[in-house]
Amino acid sequence: MLGILINSKTNVIVQGATGAYARMQLPVMVNNGTRIVAGTSPGKGGEFITEIPIFDTVKEAKHSYPEINTSIIYVPPFSVKDAVLEALESGIKLLVVPTEGVPLHDAIAIKHFVNINEAWLIGPNSLGIITPGSSLVGSIPPDYTLPGNVGLISRSGTLSLAVVKALTENGIGQSTCVSVGGDKVLGKNPADYLIEFENDQNTDAVVLLGEIGGSKEYEAASFIKNMKKPVVSFLVGRSAAPGKTMGHIGAIVTEARDTVEKKIEYLKESGSLIADTIWDIPQILDEVIK
């Protein structure tokens, strides 16, 4: 088994498969070898997208394809909560939610249901997850990646792309890259992924990409203290103006401890290595892996 959470036994259902955005992403996943087994789109049961059968409900799809264990959810923000419940109630334990703009109170409920079902939800507002050479659930371009032994965790989707590309260009391969979501309340936090990477025998080091706003880097730092594997952290938002949101709903400096400087200080104290630019990350990794 390579990497965390997904592998060659990952069998995916695409919820909201007939939307334009989903249709655009499907071939990339299929071409990368991801096993897309079925899709849902209420009212369109019986149709096909390329060769993927479409069902009206997840339950029906799961009945025909009991091997389905993962769902990627391409539905509008207000429909995400329902889609998540539908997947959970069909026994699906790994969910990926790319949708941006999920209401906070829905995210709170989603996290609650994910926890009581002992499931794992990546996102909301995520670019997905890739184990290079094995499986892709989401939109991280496979040709930016290279199979290897570095795990990557990012709050920002776009930043994860720039960094994974820089790693690959420098010959540093990845075990798994995951865009954990840009929202305030996430299915799983960066610290949860650190635990997975710490326990993954194919991962030798982890890159943690964080940003201003919120407390998630503090939680991650507390875990890093006890990790055996080296962690390289890179945080963005030094140039942010206090009180102004820079795009991500979670990225706002409202308290002193929300700033990049304070977070870096704490991560450093916890034993994390710190990169100042994207291009420092491969250099630091070169030193710690060899």
Partner 1 sequence: MKLYEWEGKSIFNRKGINVPKSMIITSEADLEKIQNEFDFPIIIKAQVLQGGRGKRGLIKEVNDLSTAYELVANMLHNNIDGELVSQVLVEEKIAYIQEAYAGITFDDITGKLLLVISTTGGIEVEELATIDKSNVLKTSIEPLRGLRFYDAISYLKSIGFKGKSLVEFAKLLVAIYQLFIELEAEIIEVNPVFLTQDQSVIAGDSKIVIDPNSSNRNTYLKKRSGSKLQFVEDEYEKRALELGFTFVNLKGNIAIVSAGAGFTMSLLDSISHLGGKPANFADMSGGASVDALKNMKELVKLVFQKADSDEQVKVILFAFTLSATPIHIVCDLFIDVLEDSKPSVPIIGSISASGASTSKMSMNEASVKLEQVGVIYCHSLKSAIQKAVNIAEGRENVGNFNK
Task: List residues near partner 1 by CB under 8 A.
Answer: 21, 24-25, 27-28, 77-78, 100-105, 107-109, 111-112, 127, 139-144, 154-162, 165, 182, 184-186, 189, 209, 211-212, 214-216, 219, 236-241, 244-251, 255-256, 276-279
Beta bridge mates, 18: none
The tokens for 187 are 């299915």
Question: Within a 10 A sphere around the Cβ of 276, how many other Cβ atoms?
Answer: 12
CB of 95 to partner 1, least distance (A): 15
Q: Which tokens belong to 124?
A: 């909301």
Q: Is 66 or 101 the residue whose CB approaches partner 1 more closely?
A: 101
For the CB of residue 126, give the shortest distance to partner 1 in the complex, in Å: 12
Cα–Cα distances in Å, from 12 out to 45, 55, 125, 139, 170? 17, 13, 19, 14, 32
Please tell me which residue in 63, 105, 112, 248 is annotated as part of the active site.
248
CB nearer to partner 1: give 61 or 240.
Answer: 240
The candidate with the shortest Cα–Cα distance to 129, out of 106, 146, 148, 152, is: 152
Pairing of strands 128-131, 174-179: antiparallel
CA 206 to chain centre: 14
Say if residues 147 and 199 touch (Cβ distance below 8 Å): no
User: Closest distance between partner 1 and the C-beta of residue 265, in Å?
Assistant: 16
Catalytic residue at 248? Answer: yes
Q: Which is nearer to partner 1, 184 or 229 (CB)?
A: 184
Measured from the CB atom, the residue of 9 and 105 that comes closer to partner 1 is 105
- Least distance (Å) between residue 264 CB and partner 1: 12
Say if CB 1 and CB 9 are below 8 A apart.
Answer: no
Active site residues per annotation = 248
